[in-house]
């Protein structure tokens, strides 16, 4: 008996010794959150006091961009530390573990688990809920090893309580159930909401984590992803008039290439035309803002739990969004674009090693989170990550970065965001260029002007050299393009050059 006891003690000690002096990581994701965050000034009325306070406590990146403007490829990129043009995952499917090449890839939390960290997750971290290893393999996958994405997996969260039927009129492209927004639930009870439960579970974890090793705790909020339901008090933060609407330019897309429509050709998210005709534009904008403020409050609950815990001084907190969202800009609502509204996201770091009260306006990528957390925590580095540590900027925000932020949406379509410019290159060779200093709304495409030829040339150099085709079983929001025959195929259907743009 004594021998067994000694063995147990040794086993625990050996797993904890290595990581005992390492900081904890609190990793907070927000779904479909664009830069409508108070301190980012993406929307002048956005109220996010808790994220803003965290930004003051640490360093915020005001020019941070996703690597793919869609949940699954963006999150896969971040968690694997590889660009979508390297993973070949661009659509909502497949789940990367079913791709033989990535089935054993060590993800960000797994890398920390391998160093002795306790890892736990709740809510939307990956696209779709990934349970822990206690679950049986899915049908057809018997005999395959079950991946343990996290040691412990908590509540999924998600939408939470739903109204008995949609709150808005029937939407185009099949009246998708997720395309909905408005005040819900009516009894003002936020505790029925999935994101409230995600925050509660995270707070409980903070209060009860094992004390013998550091933690990597991941909390993923679902809102402001559609359906944008929030209780009345969050709507009351915003005026019920047209001052909430974002600025748009009439016929803004007259100077964007036809191919810019191909990357979001036919989707359940309504176009601007529909939300206007159905008097839903203001309602959508207020709903999105209300959800953003609600999620901000949930983040506040978690951060406050850390501050009141024994881990207040040794926990690195990172908050990020998986991609942006349009609310009428460029004639659409939704994601899947290569403009700033579709790619720009909040990215805030706070905690040990992070200089407080800093704002960094240099272009950075979600891809940088993996090497940054390794660097900040002082765990062994990896040579197979495509991001670059942001620790130099977290120490001094003025430290120069040499490369722009790159976003890809299906093979061949890339947005290159430097400090001043946005350059977009589509698979058929068409291009856009915006001067983000003079034209932050990206209204005036300058790509055809000879005087900008050298700027375009400088940005073209950053187009990914690895630009893989879609992996097998890619589906949902996938586009392929064959240059030889000038044929674009959206979700299995050929788009003809003469087809009218769907509205």
Does residue 252 belong to the site contacting Ca ion (CB under 5 A)? yes
Using CB under 5 A, which of the segments 23-31, 41-49, 114-122, 205-213 binds Ca ion? 23-31
Give me the residue label for tokens 């947005």: 415
Min separation Cβ 330 and Ca ion, Å: 8
Nearest Cα neighbor of 65 from 51, 83, 91 is 83
- Give the nearer residue to Ca ion in terms of CB position, either 231 or 445: 445
Which position among 52, 195, 322, 329 is part of the footprint of Ca ion (CB under 5 A)? 322
Closest to Ca ion by CB, 269 or 322: 322
Phi, psi of 350 (to 5 degrees): -145, 155
Q: What is the DSSP string of 18-36?
A: TTTTSPEEEEEEETT--S-
Handedness of CA 127, 66, 340, 241 (dihedral sign): positive
Residue 174: how many other CB atoms lie within 10 Å: 9
d(CA 271, CA 331): 6
Residues marked active site are found at 71, 127
CA–centroid distance for 456 within its chain: 27
Q: Report, in Å, the least distance between residue 75 CB and Ca ion.
A: 8
Binding segment for Ca ion (CB under 5 A), chosen from 16-24, 70-78, 286-294, 400-408, is 70-78
User: In the bound complex, what is the minimum distance in angstroms from residue 204's beta carbon to Ca ion?
Assistant: 26
Q: Does 255 bind Ca ion (CB under 5 A)?
A: yes
Chain residues 372-431 in contact with Ca ion, contact rule CB under 5 A: none
| Residue whose structure tokens are 């890619």 | 474
Which positions from 431 to 470 touch Ca ion by CB under 5 A, shown as an x/- string? Answer: ------------x---------------------------
Smallest separation, CB 78 to Ca ion (Å): 11
Q: Contact between 151 and Ca ion (CB under 5 A)?
A: no
Per CB under 5 A, the list member of 22, 31, 195, 447 interacting with Ca ion is 31
| Sheet bearing 364-365, strands edge to edge | 344-345, 64-65, 364-365
When the beta carbons of 83 and 127 are compared against Ca ion, the nearer one is 127
Pick the binder of Ca ion from 28, 54, 71, 316 (CB under 5 A): 71
CB closest to Ca ion, residue no: 71
Nearer to Ca ion, 366 or 377 (CB): 366
b/e per residue, 82-95, with b = 16+ CB within 10 A? bbbbbbbbbbbbbb
- 398-304-16 Cα angle (round to 5): 80
Of 64-72, 172-180, 275-283, 364-372, which segment contacts Ca ion by CB under 5 A?
64-72
- From 25, 26, 32, 87, residue interacting with Ca ion (rule: CB under 5 A): 32
Q: Which stretch binds Ca ion (CB under 5 A): 13-21, 101-109, 253-261, 394-402?
A: 253-261
- Compute how many residues bind Ca ion; rule: CB under 5 A: 7
- Please state the closest distance from residue 409 (CB atom) to Ca ion, in A: 13
Cα 455 from Cα 63, distance rounded (Å)? 19
Stretch of 181-189, 300-308, 320-328, 433-441 contacting Ca ion, by CB under 5 A: 320-328
Tokens describing residue 49 = 């006091």
Q: Which stretch binds Ca ion (CB under 5 A): 53-61, 239-247, 321-329, 374-382?
A: 321-329
CA quadruple 248, 265, 87, 158: dihedral positive or negative? positive
CB of 406 to Ca ion, least distance (A): 18
Q: Do the Cβ atoms of 195 and 123 come closer than 8 Å?
A: yes
Q: Which is nearer to Ca ion, 389 or 408 (CB)?
A: 408
User: Least Å distance between CB 124 and Ca ion?
Assistant: 8
Q: How far is the CB of 142 from Ca ion (least distance, A)?
A: 31
Q: Is 37 in the site for Ca ion (CB under 5 A)?
A: no
CB nearer to Ca ion: pick between 94 and 214: 94
Instruction: Please give the sequence-ordered ranges of beta strands (E in DSSP) within 285-412, or none if there are none.
Output: 315-321, 326-327, 333-334, 344-345, 347-350, 358-360, 364-365, 405-408
Nearest residue to 219 (alpha-carbon basis) of 131, 160, 155, 161: 155
3-state SS assignment for residue 202 = helix
Only one of the segments 56-64, 69-77, 209-217, 350-358 lies at the binding site for Ca ion (rule: CB under 5 A); that segment is 69-77
CA–CA dist 88, 101 (Å, integer): 10
Q: How far is the CB of 335 from Ca ion (least distance, A)?
A: 7
Does residue 331 touch Ca ion according to CB under 5 A? no
- What does the alpha-carbon distance between residue 229 and residue 164 come to, in Å, rounded to a whole number? 13
Q: At CA 278, angle to CA 274 and CA 284, rounded to 5? A: 80
Which is nearer to Ca ion, 92 or 489 (by Cβ)?
A: 92
The two three-digit tokens of residue 216, written as one number? 């990597």
End-to-end CA distance of the chain: give it in Å, rounded.
Answer: 73
CB 340 within 8 A of CB 442: yes
Q: Which is nearer to Ca ion, 32 or 375 (CB)?
A: 32
Contact residues for Ca ion (CB under 5 A)? Answer: 31-32, 71, 252, 255, 322, 443
């Amino acid at each position: 008996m004594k021998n067994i006891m000694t063995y147990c003690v040794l086993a625990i000690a050996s797993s904890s010794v290595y990581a005992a002096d390492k900081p904890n990581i609190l990793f907070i994701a927000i779904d479909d959150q664009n830069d409508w965050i108070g301190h980012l000034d993406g929307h002048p009325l956005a109220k996010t006091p808790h994220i803003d306070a965290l930004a003051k406590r640490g360093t915020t990146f005001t020019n941070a961009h996703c690597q793919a403007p869609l949940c699954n490829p963006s999150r896969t990129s971040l968690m694997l530390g590889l660009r979508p043009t390297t993973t070949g995952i661009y659509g909502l499917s497949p789940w990367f573990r079913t791709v033989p090449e990535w089935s054993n890839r060590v993800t960000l939390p797994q890398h920390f688990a391998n160093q002795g960290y306790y890892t736990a997750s709740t809510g939307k971290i990956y696209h779709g809920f990934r349970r822990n290893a206690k679950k049986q393999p899915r049908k057809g996958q018997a005999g395959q090893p079950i991946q343990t994405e996290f040691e412990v997996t908590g509540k999924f969260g998600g939408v939470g309580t739903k109204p008995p039927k949609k709150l808005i009129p029937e939407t185009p492209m099949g009246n998708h159930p997720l395309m909905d927004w408005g005040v819900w639930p009516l009894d003002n009870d936020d505790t029925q909401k999935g994101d409230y439960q995600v925050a509660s579970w995270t707070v409980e974890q903070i209060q009860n984590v094992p004390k013998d090793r550091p933690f990597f705790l991941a909390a993923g909020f679902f809102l402001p992803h559609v359906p944008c339901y929030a209780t009345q008090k969050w709507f009351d933060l915003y005026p019920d008039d047209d001052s909430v609407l974002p600025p748009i330019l009439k016929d803004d897309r007259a100077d964007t290439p036809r191919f810019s429509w191909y990357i979001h050709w036919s989707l359940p998210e309504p176009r601007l035309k529909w939300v206007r005709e159905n008097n839903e534009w203001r309602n959508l904008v207020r709903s999105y803002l209300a959800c953003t403020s609600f999620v901000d409050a949930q983040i506040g609950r978690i951060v406050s739990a850390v501050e009141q815990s024994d881990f207040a001084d040794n926990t690195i907190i990172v908050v990020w969004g998986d991609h942006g969202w349009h609310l009428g800009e460029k004639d659409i609502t939704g994601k899947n674009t290569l403009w700033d509204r579709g790619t720009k996201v909040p990215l805030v770091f706070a905690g040990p090693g992070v200089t407080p009260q800093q704002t960094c306006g240099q272009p950075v990528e979600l891809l940088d989170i993996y090497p940054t957390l390794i660097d900040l925590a002082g765990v062994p580095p990896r040579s197979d990550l495509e991001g670059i540590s942001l620790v130099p900027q977290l120490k001094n925000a003025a430290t120069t970065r040499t490369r722009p932020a790159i976003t890809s949406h299906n093979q061949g379509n890339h947005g290159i965001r430097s400090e001043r410019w946005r350059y977009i290159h589509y698979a058929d060779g068409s291009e856009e260029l915006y001067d983000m200093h003079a034209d932050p709304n990206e209204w005036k495409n300058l790509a055809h002007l000879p005087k900008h030829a050298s700027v375009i040339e400088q940005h073209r150099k950053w187009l990914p050299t690895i630009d893989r085709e879609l992996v097998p079983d890619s589906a949902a929001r996938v586009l392929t393009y064959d240059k030889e025959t000038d044929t674009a195929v959206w979700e299995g259907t050929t788009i003809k050059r003469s087809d009218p743009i769907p509205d």
